[in-house]
Structure 1
Amino acid sequence: MFQRFIGLMSGTSMDAVDAALVQIDAQGSLKLEAQHSLPIPPELRTRLLTISHTNAWSADELASLDIAFSEHCTEAVLTLLRIAKVRPEEVVAIASHGQTIRHKPNLVPSYTYQIGDPTRMAIRTGIDVIYDFRRKDIAVGGQGAPLVPAFHQQTFAREKQSIVVINLGGIANVTWLGPKGQVLGFDTGPANTLLDQWIHYCYPDKSFDEDAQFARAGQVQTDLLEQLLRHPFFSKPAPKSTGREEFNLDWLKLQLADQEVPSEDVQRTLTELTATSITDALKTLPQQPDAIYFCGGGTNNPLLMERLAQLLSPAKCDTTKSLGVDPQWVEAMAFAWLGWCYEHKKPGNQPAVTGASHPVVLGAKVLHQ
């Protein structure tokens, strides 16, 4: 017997809302039934990007974006239901991550903030919505991120094997699954976010570097790479998490001030920054992995995947597809699973990962009626 949940995920790149319809059995094992990715329109994406890294906005703009993003998520859900030919009453709940516009777990007081009005979504879809997954972890002393390691443990852990799962989203995060059931995880730094921001700055009609063509035209600037790696986040011990608040275009421009670096060399160096920072992060694990599995949008970047395989050799590198889970849908499935955890009152955080004082049931719920 299984229950259906829909997981919604929009990450740091803010390029699309991913919606995954999953079947989850009584043991928490998942099966992906249907999926749909709805690109975020340029105008909405620009507004989201602006509000996420500036203070030049009003309460009216925040409220308007909250509604607009919720409507976009609702459209993704309704399209997914049509694709799957599933009725709303056949879905237990939508588990919506929302769109992060601020994540500052190291401030006092610490906070994280996601938008995407769950009440409107519940009313329009006719499905209960579980939301606000990060703030309870922060309330008990955690970073509120990353949250996917608990799902990775549920789905990918192998007895007597040391496995690493790396999500290459806007920000990269690593999960170590030890041979005796251990789990650790933390953000490693930028994966796609700086790459996407830089090419869009150079070519406003491009939102990402397709097939890494722009990066391949450049050369790694060693001095610039070393300068970027001096960002204090990279040497900070876990638990730790980050986002656009630290790694953004303004920060990158500051690093490039008074330097004449060809734009393609910057793109190539940013690719190397992602690969090097991930490689360095893995050196801090209690045990080196037997195998490394990648998921997220960065798996579509051939140059990044080549460099990671070279730097992480001789460890076996592959994507989560070889473990039976499409790498593009891991995060959306993870939030569907976190929704299932909420529904069954099971903790969804990992204190060893986030630094929380204890496990907690994550999320809150809005009924559709």
Structure 2
Amino acid sequence: MSYFIGLMSGTSMDGIDAALVDFSQPSQPVMRDFLCVPYSDTLKRTLLALNFPMNNEVHEMATASREVALAFADAANQLIQRHPDYQIHAIGSHGQTIRHAPSGPLGYSLQLGDANTLAVTTGINVVSDFRNKDIALGGQGAPLVPAFHASVFARSGKRRGILNIGGIANITLLTDQDTLGFDTGPGNTLMDQWIALHLGHAYDKNGEWAASGRVIPALLNALLQHPFLQECAPKSTGIDHFSLHWLQQHLGKSDEYAAADVQATLLHFTARSIADACQSLALDDLFVCGGGAYNTHLINTLRELMPAVHIDSTDVLNIPANAVEACAFAWLAYAFVNQIPGNLPAVTGASRPAILGTLTYAH
């Protein structure tokens, strides 16, 4: 058997997704187990703060990296303890992104989650730091999951899209000829931040609060002018570009808009930015994963905006929507070990395919 663990925490920062995946048949990997472990409230606040400049930043970043690694190790160890007979070959750890600034001659992407701490605490070799070699080759370092999507979800004769809606949303186009992919803009990030500010909830369950409000056309049109949405792929972004501070610039200092109406507008902003990005892709099917796949109002809004496209969850493709990205980082560890390129230059803009990741031994 060829078992790998994938660990992922996305830009929503709602917790650590951990998947145990069997790659005995690489084109048909089987997820043997999955769990999600939430961050503590204190660690989540620290990580959110580190997306922006702050005092004593280097110390806060270094200690948070150890904390993230210990939280990741706890998730991995739970899987290991549930399957004591499985020989885990390696852990693929995405870590927690706090800054993503890939453009320019000194571009970078920064993920926390010290690989040495993770390897020592689990006793298993760790493959991590998947993004920066792609950036060194002139790429965006993102999105990285399209290579995994192509490996397991592509079907002959279909123009198939795989849409991940995390904090940021990204789309993969799978065709007989090629694979394309890019970030489309905000996923859950603005909706999550807005409901946390006004109701104290981590997210808007089923989009119910957004559904209770009315879209504000002038605000929606203003948000749709964000420069990132006008850029051509390859492109990637982060939650620092779609923040409450940015939103407040469009709201002004008045209480002109009801909070529920702003939430309704933010949901439509996410849906419109996704639908606009998909417009030129001529999709037959779109399969959704990530936390946004469970936002019923968001998915129904996408269906209204894209009536010609069949939209469903990746659950029907045998990988649960909340587990796809964790499985992808298990695959990236598998790819590293087997010397398979983990990036797609047509997606990231890198100058060539490359083996992605850095290996940290447990012993």
TM-score (norm. length: structure 1): 0.96
Name whichever of 102-111 and 225-234 sits farther off: 102-111
- In the other structure, the counterpart of 1:127 is 124
Q: Matches of 1:63 and 1:258 in 2, distance apart? A: 36
- State the alpha-carbon separation in 2 of the partners of residues 164 and 344 from structure 1: 27
What is the rounded CA distance, in whole Å, between the counterparts of 1:86 and 1:46 in structure 2? 37
SS at match of 1:294: strand
Is 1:270 the equivalent of 2:266?
A: yes
CA deviation map 1:162-192 (0-9, x unaligned): 11111111111000111x2311000000010
Tell me which residue corresponds to 1:55.
Answer: 54
From 205, 212, 217, the equivalent of 1:217 is 212
Instruction: Identify the range of structure 1 (131-140 vs 24-33) with the bigger mean alpha-carbon deviation.
Output: 24-33
Q: CA deviation at 1:27?
A: 3.5
| Cα distance per residue 1:272-296 (max 9 Å; x no partner) | 00111111001233xx011111111
Q: Which residue of structure 2 lines up, in the alignment, with residue 30 of structure 1?
A: 29
Q: Which amino acid is the alignment partner of residue 201 of structure 1?
A: L
Q: Secondary structure at the match of 1:92?
A: strand
Match of 1:21 in 2: 20
Would the alpha carbon gap of residues 292 and 26 (structure 1) be closer, same or farther in structure 2, given more than 3 Å must change? closer
**Given the alignment, which residue of 334, 350, 356 partners 1:356?**
350
CA RMSD of aligned residues (A): 1.2
Distance in structure 1 (CA, Å) of the matches to 2:38 and 2:313: 23
Gap runs ≥5 in structure 2: none
1:161 to 158, 161, 164: 158
**Contact preservation (8 Å) 1:218, 1:268:** yes
Comparing 257-266 with 334-343, which one deviates more in the overlay? 257-266
Q: How does 1:195-210 map to 2 (within 5 A)?
A: 195-204=191-200, 206-210=201-205
Alignment of 1:222-301 (within 5 A): 222-259=217-254, 260-285=256-281, 288-301=282-295
Pairing 1:328-367 to 2, within 5 Å after superposition = 328-367=322-361
Task: Tell me by how many angstroms 1:86 deviates.
Answer: 4.3
Separation in 1 of the partners of 2:68 and 2:36? 14
Q: Distance in 2 between matches of 1:95 and 1:57?
A: 30
Q: What's the CA shift for 1:340?
A: 0.3
- Matched-pair identity in %: 43
* Paired amino acid for 2:246: W
Corresponding residue number in structure 2 for 1:83: 82
Question: Does the aligned pair in 1 maintain the 2:50–2:57 contact within 8 Å?
Answer: no
Q: Distance in 2 between matches of 1:328 and 1:56?
A: 34
Mapped to 1, the partners of 2:360 and 2:177 lie a distance apart of 34
Q: Distance in 2 between matches of 1:166 and 1:47?
A: 28
TM-score (norm 2): 0.97
- Would you say 1:191 and 2:187 are equivalent positions? yes
For 2:286 and 2:265, how far apart are their aligned partners in 1? Answer: 23
CA distance in 1, matches of 2:42, 2:250: 28
In the other structure, the counterpart of 1:74 is 73
Deviations 1:14-41 (A, max 9, x none): 1100000000025443100011110011
1:189 is paired with a residue of what secondary structure? strand
Are 1:22 and 1:30, in contact at CA under 8 Å, matched by a contact in 2? yes
Q: Is the 8 A contact 2:335 2:342 kept in 1?
A: yes
Does the aligned pair in 2 maintain the 1:28–1:337 contact within 8 Å? no
| Paired residues for 1:87-102 under 5 Å | 90-102=87-99
Three-state SS of the structure 1 residue aligned to 2:330 is helix
Q: Distance in 1 between matches of 2:188 and 2:170?
A: 12
Q: Which amino acid aligns with 1:322?
A: V
The alignment covers a number of residue pairs equal to 362
Structure 1 unaligned runs (5+)? none
Instruction: Give the Cα–Cα distance (whole angstroms) in 2 for the partners of residues 68 and 311 of structure 1.
Output: 42
1:225–1:272 CA contact under 8 A, matched in 2: yes
Q: Structure 1 residue aligned with 2:173, among 169, 176, 180?
A: 176
Instruction: Give the structure 1 partner of residue 106 of structure 2.
Output: 109
* Partner residue in 2 for 1:319: 313
Distance 1:26 1:191 in 2: 32
